[in-house]
Amino acid sequence: MHRKGAMAGVFSVCGNVKMVGRAVTVQTIAGDWAKPVEAIDVAKKHEVLVINNDGATDVAPWGSLRPGAVKRRGLPGLSLTVPSGTWMIYGQ
């Protein structure tokens, strides 16, 4: 990263929380939920999911049941990258 930062504009949509951990990166096509589900299965405890939604803002690769699966796996959170920035949508 050469001190330039890798993810600008990160903000939480679930309150004043922070997360840290090794990243498990996921590249999806817009709205593809299969890859994020696979990533939950691959990720180890304390790893953070980082999902690139192929630039889409009108369709999500994430549903309402996924945060529970992330929590049960012991992952500190997930970030979803969209054109307007990176949203941290779950954090412990």
pLDDT in tens, 27-80: 888 878 889 889 989 999 888 888 888 878 788 787 777 777 888 888 887 777
Q: Is residue 4 part of a domain?
A: no
Q: Is residue 3 part of a domain?
A: no
Q: Is residue 19 part of a domain?
A: yes
| Alpha-carbon span 92 to 2, nearest angstrom | 29
| Alpha-carbon span 68 to 85, nearest angstrom | 23
Q: Is residue 24 part of a domain?
A: yes
Range of the domain at 15: 10-91
Q: Give residue 2's pLDDT.
A: 58
Look-up of token digits 């600008």: 8
Q: Is residue 18 part of a domain?
A: yes
Whether the pLDDT of residue 1 is over 50: the answer is no
Token pair listed for 43: 């990720």
Token pair listed for 40: 């939950």
